[in-house]
Structure 1
Amino acid sequence: MLTAADVIKRNNIKQSGQGKIPLLMAHGFGCDQRMWRFLQPLIGEDYQLILFDYVGSGQSELAAYSVQRYQHLLGYAQDVIEIIDALNLNNAVLVGHSVSAMITMLAAKARPERVHSLIMVCPSPCFLNDPPNYLGGFEQADLQELLDLIDKNYLGWANYLAPLVIGAENSQQLIGELTDSFCSTDPLIAKTFAKATFFADLRTELPHIKQPTLILQSKVDSLASTEVGRYMSRMIPDNQLQIIQAKGHCLHMTHPQQVWSAIRQFLSSCL
């Protein structure tokens, strides 16, 4: 049986802020909690800010990693559920970047009494195209080729994916940081998480979201188009969609001021 101390250590949980509302920040694929550092000073002390690393990412306990558990997004959702329980969070706001928007959605489904609202930064419920009604942006063969590249040329894979994610027009420093983050991840863990991410299809879960939800999409995003955001907005019962005039898939890193402004406005309307 995991204790609260076990979970805090396993997921490298860091807490700050004196506010009553918990903000649990869930990083995306190939990243870690450091990617939230651009938002952190904007949030200040008004909220209880909780950062963590998924098992297999950042400074988490690698010994706790299991391919069996983490080959599906439910395994990552279990990390979030166990963090919510360990910290005894109530009225929590779950902030998820990219695939973590879907992971936190699954966690909220499991703990509806503890989760107040969801904030999704550049989310996608399905990266695969399913014409004519849904265009996720990728064909299955394209995604399989991307996964195969991990085995063939891990460094090449990282150097290809990082500018695609950050946006080639954005900071070369951020692109370099994300490349380093990818490269520092164990290739088996990276491939397992990538497969779980890119081949997931959680579209049927969207209509069952019970929490108020903010969807933040980038105007130009190679991984999650504005059409994906509009699809999600049609499917989620209680939501707000904001499209930010930006390029790239990491709005919280490239445009933190706009992201926090949207989050603050959303929370003031629903808390």
Structure 2
Amino acid sequence: MNSSFNARRGSSMVDGDHLRLEFMTSSEVALAIAGGIRTIVIPCGAVEQHGPHLALSVDADHADHLGILVTKGVGGALVAPTIRVGCSSHHIAFPGTISLQDSTFEMICRDYCTSLARHGFERILIFSAHVGNSPPLARMLPRLRSSVPASCRVSAFTDAKAWLERWRDAVEEAGGEPIRVGGHADIAETSLMLDIHPGRVRTERYEAGRLGLLSQGDLELMWRDGLAAVSANGILGDPAGSSATIGRHCIERIASLLVESFSQDEPA
């Protein structure tokens, strides 16, 4: 990144904000690209219910935070504005949830990719902190790749199973109970919010949801009839035992998973 921009950051800017495309000027972006920064990260999230104890913003907040860690981890990169609303139709029975159609989500991702490729970015890395975005993201990936010039490579992390397994490992390593990981408003998500936005956690409203990871049959039921069909309170897992320490470990382990995955997908 050019030194003049770094010099103007000032002590009031959040650590990592100098990597956020939206906080740069157009000329600073041009200088960064000319200076060799050709990789950009696109975080995706959701605005949806997370039980009675977490704000609707969990997935978007998580994506924002991970975006900086992943950008630092891959190196020589910037991070695009988070796509904050995602595909959450299975949560729509719960008030406040906002959901995009798969086709709308794809159009937004495509427009991000074509805009960024036009400016000279040659490597676009997409991830989602909302597991529900993973299936449509996997389906659209071939079309995203065909929408940009051959000189630009689009990669996306869509392995929801690996994400949940990494959370279970992280919770156990940090002293929590992995059985409480279910993937939604559980000990992992509650803990990470205690770390990054504790004011958005209602600790007095913790309650257990559906324990254990969902079977394939449960997943099919959820996609067809909504999350309430498998968990009346909208929680998969249990927030009991959550802590900022567990949350920080979960965040670090997921950031490592994403960086590892994108590194394996790096062009030779």
Fold similarity call, TM over 0.5: no
Sort the TM-score into its range (normalised by shorter chain).
0.3 to 0.5
Using the size of structure 1 for normalisation, the TM-score is 0.41
Q: Which has the higher strand share?
A: 1
Structure ID, larger Rg:
2
TM (norm. structure 2) is 0.42
